[in-house]
Amino acid sequence: MPRLARLTPQTATGASRDLLTDLVSRHGQIGDMVATMAHSPAVLTGYLQLSRAMKRAKLSRKVSELISIAVQTQQGCGLCLESHISAAFALGIDDEEIDRARTGTSADPGVAAMITLGLQVYREPTSITDEQILSLYDHGYSEREITDVVGVVSLNILTGAFNLVAGLTPHRPSSGRRP
């Protein structure tokens, strides 16, 4: 049960009304999270800017989604987890690889190393070592891709924490693939 009301361009005020009006005019509709984030124009603007910026990330979408699945499994946001699992399926990632991501690993050692980094950024960034970063270079990752992991995790923390506080959960039956 949602704890915060979903806003519309008609019910929002000030900057939030402007943001929602623009989003609805460009996309036709907006999701529950965005409509609820509109209670704080600062939070909504921050989310929109970070989300847009991460679309320009160098890190592959596959690795990004697997990191997101690992982080959301830990954070416990069912809405985010469902969304990232659906995105992973759309990218052609199979059930076994999604299950591995949920446990914090991958069949690919390089991807597993990036998932590990993402979970450390989420849980305990002070535990990241110089040797670990050097190992990521050995797997072929660039400084930009390693830096992108911090953005991916930050976006997941924001959306997951917001959805949990707002009480937003998946509200439709599963497609048969489990979140």
**pLDDT above 70 as % of the chain:** 96
Ordered structural domains, the chain, with CATH: 14-54 (no CATH), 61-166 (1.20.1290.10)
Buried b (16+ CB within 10 A) or exposed e, 60-74: eebbbbbbbbbbbbb
Token code pair at residue 33: 């999270």
Token code pair at residue 76: 């416990």
Averaged over 132-153, what is the pLDDT? 98
Rounded CA-CA distance 170/89 in Å is: 17
- For residue range 66-99, what is the model confidence (pLDDT) as tens digits? 999 999 999 999 999 999 999 999 999 999 999 9
**pLDDT above 90 as % of the chain:** 94
pTM over 0.85: yes
Averaged over 122-146, what is the pLDDT? 98
Q: What is the largest CA-CA distance in the chain?
A: 54
Rounded CA-CA distance 108/143 in Å is: 20
Q: Give phi and psi for 82, each to the nearest 5.
A: -60, -45
Rounded CA-CA distance 118/90 in Å is: 22
- Looking at residue 175, what is its pLDDT? 46
Average pLDDT over the chain, rounded to whole?
A: 95
- Look at 178 and 114; give whichever has higher pLDDT: 114
- Looking at residue 174, what is its pLDDT? 47
Averaged over 8-29, what is the pLDDT? 95
Token code pair at residue 54: 């991460």
- For residue range 42-64, what is the model confidence (pLDDT) as tens digits? 999 999 999 999 999 999 999 99
DSSP characters over 68-135: HHHHHHHHT-HHHHHHHHHHHHHTT--HHHHHHHHTT--SSHHHHHHHHHHHHHHH-GGG--HHHHHH
